[in-house]
Amino acid sequence: MTYADLALRRITQSRALPPPRFRYTPAIEVGPFVFVSGLVGLDPATGKLAASGAFAETAQILENIRALCDEQDWSLERLVMARVYCTGDDVAGAVNEAWDEFFSGGEPPARSFVIVTGLPLGAAVEIEFQLLA
């Protein structure tokens, strides 16, 4: 693979993810890599943030990445990195609980965990992903 191959990017169209509320591209493929923009826990059917707090939001985010992978014929086992942003230490336990439940059948990707003062749409959690297509 050459640098020119890596420089070409393909916008990934998806019906599995909720449509963006702001101007950004939800997923871009560059060579063998896929970069998925930060996802908050929006229910694709309603467009609303998952109710009941950080656990439900995290579970919805993880279901959304699963739906995207299924739609694009990518494997969850090819997730290599996740960056988790949450609004406080009190949220971290619920995020970890949903994360552990989701990845109970296999190894999770590498992960960063960042505490922030606020997230879009009043979300408690946002996660961005990188994977190999």
Task: Enter the CATH code of domain 3-132.
Answer: 3.30.1330.40
Provide the strand spans (E) within 53-105: 79-86
CA distance 101 to 116: 24
Express each pLDDT in 70-124 by its tens digit.
Answer: 999 999 999 999 999 999 999 999 999 999 999 998 899 999 999 999 999 999 9
Question: Stretch 54-72: mean pLDDT, rounded?
Answer: 97
Q: Is the pLDDT of residue 7 over 70?
A: no
R_g of the chain computed on alpha carbons? 15
Query: Closest by alpha carbon to 133, among 27, 1, 7, 58?
Result: 27
State CA 133 to chain mean position distance: 15
Domain-by-domain residue ranges, the chain? 3-132
State CA 52 to chain mean position distance: 19
